[in-house]
Amino acid sequence: MASEDIQIKICGLRSANAAIVASDAGATHLGFNFIERVRRQVSPEDGAQIIADYMSGRKSLNRPHLVGLFRDQDSEFVNETARNAKLDYLQLCGDEDADYISKIDLPIIKMIFVKEASTKSSLTKIVDPLLDEGHGVILDSGVKSSRGGSGTSFNWALAEGIVDRPNVFLAGGLNPENVQSAIKQLSPWGVDVASGVETDGVKDPERIKAFISAARSA
């Protein structure tokens, strides 16, 4: 994937202003976290309001995909939250199976955690069927019992030949300083970041812009 065409997801947004900064800087996907009891959680009501404020406040005509994150939550709740917030995609971060996915109204992106015991072959066996079904995939770090948004990288060599396929994002510990190395090594279809564009746990407009600029010019 040429870096000017790379997909860039800025995740864990909790304000319209940060979403506008990301969108105006060229993000292709904006992530809003509806998972209960996580640091970046937004309630269904707040998420819908943040997205409405973002839609009316954005300056550029760029219209990134709006992604809602969920983890093993009731499918009716997920669909209703998605409708109210006008989401485009649902990112499923738990143990959701094919039966659960069949109840979901929107296209999905499934998080796959790369663990210490993971191999390229074991990852391919998980990723292939998801891509074949037309789903998106995010490969993220699964070390230290992390289940997303940890700011921790995994061994990128395991993602070679996997993340360069359409609809696959590389995630986990990316930041403005290392994203170019990741792109040069792996040519990912997309990159995804949460912690690396924050300062003191809050989205930092300068780091969001720096991340997108670095990814685009890799």
> Which residues form the interface with ligand LARABZUK (CB under 6 A)?
11-12, 31, 33, 35, 38-40, 69, 71, 93, 138, 140, 147-151, 171-174, 192-196
φ/ψ bin of 148: left (φ > 0), alpha (ψ from -120 to 50), beta (otherwise): left
CB of 140 to ligand LARABZUK, least distance (A): 5
User: Closer CB to ligand LARABZUK, residue 31 or residue 47?
Assistant: 31
Contact call for residues 103 and 43 (beta carbons, < 8 A) = no
Residue 99, judged by CB atoms within 10 A of its CB (0-12, 13-18, 19+), counts as exposed
DSSP structural state of residue 168? E
Strands, DSSP E only, in 50-122?
65-70, 89-92, 108-114
User: Closer CB to ligand LARABZUK, residue 1 or residue 174?
Assistant: 174
Nearest 5°: phi and psi at 202?
A: -120, 140
Nearest 5°: phi and psi at 205?
A: -55, -40
CB of 27 to ligand LARABZUK, least distance (A): 12
CB of 197 to ligand LARABZUK, least distance (A): 8
CB of 88 to ligand LARABZUK, least distance (A): 15
CB of 99 to ligand LARABZUK, least distance (A): 21
- In 3-state terms, what secondary structure has residue 88? coil
The dihedral built from the CA positions of residue 81, 82, 84 and 85, taken in this order, carries a sign that is: positive
User: Closer CB to ligand LARABZUK, residue 96 or residue 192?
Assistant: 192
CB of 56 to ligand LARABZUK, least distance (A): 25
User: Closer CB to ligand LARABZUK, residue 69 or residue 214?
Assistant: 69
CB of 150 to ligand LARABZUK, least distance (A): 5
Helix (H) or strand (E) holding 52: helix 44-57
Helix (H) or strand (E) holding 100: helix 98-102
Side-chain half-sphere exposure of 7, counting CA atoms within 13 A: 23
| Token code pair at residue 188 | 């990912």
